[in-house]
Amino acid sequence: MMRMGLVRSAVLGVSVALLATTAQPALSGPGDDTLNVVWEREQTTLDVYYFTDHTGLTLIKNVWDGLVERDPQTGEYIGNLATSWEWENDTSLVMDLRRGVTFHNGEPFDADDVVYTLNYVTDPANKVLLLQMVNWIKGAEKIDQYKVRIFLKQPFPPVLEYLSLGVPIYPNEYYAEVGTEGMGKEPVGTGPYKVVAFEPGREYVLERFDDYFEGGAKPRAQIKTVKVSTVKDTNLQIGKLMTGQVDFLWRLQADQADQLRQSTEFQIVSVPTIRTAFMLFTVDGADGPFSDVRVRRAFGHAINREAIAKNLLRGESTVVDTLCSPIQVACPDAGTVYDYDPEKARRLLAEAGYEDGFDMELATPSFRYISEAIVGDLKQVGINASLKSLVWATFRDQWVSGELPAFVFNTGFWGIGDAAIAFGTYHGGMPQDMANDPEVNALLEQASVMYDLEQRTAVYGKAQNIVLDNAYWLPLAGFSVNFALSPQLSFQPTSDEVNRFYLASWK
């Protein structure tokens, strides 16, 4: 696998060198005040409650507003569409709303929009896909035109964190008229940017909203236009960067970032993030090799996580031994740790009756090179794994339906800086929980209502130990995400991987 990595680097080095000598005049940037952005993921709808990929958070932050905003540098919670709030009790939150705010279509913002949005997304009949962001909400009611009451299903410690990131407020009249199909094609928010064009799966274009309100947590955007395009071929992405067609690349592979850093004038920025890679097994109802804990533990010892972190992800990437990112609030310390030990992996497989190994399929939706390394490690202990690459939507559907016996994926936890998102989304009987362990579920139910941070962290730790000891999940490594930016662009990436274009400017 390392030889493959070296070949890929060598090819990239040649292409960078050639492009550097033939670069065309800049076609984007401050000349026409357009920030051209390219990334790999497709945007099939712009109704962000029905889109679960992390790129949807970039849309949420730029096109919509939430009631509360978390300062990406200080972590402080600041009023945005809400100006103040007060807890009536553990499950009732009253919020005063900002006056003088308008949506991109001219609709005035008020309590009706908040109540409509929160009651819509929490109604099971509407089947929103961003459920993990809103399933703590019981409902909302209007007190007066600029005051609302939000009801929680039960005490929920990270309320402000969730409100600050994943609960954009929709215009009630427009959404009631056009529904998710209309919002998916022509979205309307209150944010610093408005959508002016959209080609599903290809690109969308944002334009500065000049009537954006003042006094909230976000400033008005400085760059006039942002064009976001999907380009799946990473070499083509770099070619567009080198020929002046692109100002902003996100999620560069480490070898690409290293080559660009050495060979070009572009800003190459590596940022440690909460994004973490895992290997998972479908255990609940399974009857194949992965129903045996010894097989799952063998995989834990077969995978060289240190090599993945240091040789593939590089930068500030590190091995992770927890079910959450260590930098998230309430993430417990590591418990059960699977050291790299191929001989122990072979012994466990033999004990489980697989001395000669077995054939399997390993699915993944992204960062294929990580799974390629894992396939190589598994081969060393007698497991013949074939790699199955899936687009995210298909991958998610097959995951929750239990069609994937074993798979590798990574998550940025939707930018949420609290471990509740990790434990409350992927465990505890949620659709993505492929173990459905009753003891784990009971512990997580207990932790979910604990406002005492130390106690909540301790209970998460107990649940985590059960998950890891049974090898339902295998943590792999934390990501250091790489950006390539135009030398003319001023932009500060953040650990939550939310690209706040309204904070970007030209130098």
Pairing type for strands 267-281 and 473-485 reads antiparallel
3-state secondary structure (DSSP) of residue 72: coil
pLDDT for 301 equals: 99
Same-domain pairing of 292 and 392: yes
Same-domain pairing of 219 and 289: no
- The pTM assigned to this predicted structure is 0.86
275-288 pLDDT, tens per residue?
999 999 999 988 89
Determine, yes or no, domain membership for 172. yes
Determine, yes or no, domain membership for 168. yes
Determine, yes or no, domain membership for 355. yes
Using CA atoms, how far residue 23 sits from 27, 241, 248, in Å, is 11, 9, 16
Structural domain of residue 153, as residue ranges? 39-226
Same-domain pairing of 198 and 285: no
Same-domain pairing of 165 and 51: yes
Same-domain pairing of 285 and 169: no
Q: How far apart are CA 67 and CA 78, in angstroms?
A: 9
The count of domains in the chain is 2
Same-domain pairing of 163 and 71: yes
Domain boundary among 170, 199, 226: 226
Q: How far apart are CA 375 and CA 413, in angstroms?
A: 25
Predicted confidence band of residue 490 (pLDDT cuts 50, 70, 90): very high
Same-domain pairing of 290 and 368: yes
Predicted confidence band of residue 27 (pLDDT cuts 50, 70, 90): low
Same-domain pairing of 196 and 298: no
Determine, yes or no, domain membership for 14. no
Determine, yes or no, domain membership for 489. no
pLDDT for 28 equals: 66
CB 362 within 8 A of CB 386: yes
Percent share of the chain, pLDDT over 90: 81
Same-domain pairing of 180 and 288: no
CATH code assigned at 344: 3.10.105.10
Determine, yes or no, domain membership for 491. no
Same-domain pairing of 314 and 417: yes
Position 15 pLDDT exceeds 60: no
Predicted confidence band of residue 430 (pLDDT cuts 50, 70, 90): confident
CATH code assigned at 156: 3.40.190.10
Same-domain pairing of 209 and 66: yes
Determine, yes or no, domain membership for 237. no
Per-residue buried b or exposed e for 383-403, using 16+ beta carbons within 10 Å of the residue's own CB? bebeebebebeebbebbeeee
413-426 pLDDT, tens per residue?
989 999 999 998 88
Same-domain pairing of 221 and 287: no
359-410 pLDDT, tens per residue?
999 999 988 999 999 999 999 999 999 999 998 889 999 999 999 999 999 9
Determine, yes or no, domain membership for 416. yes
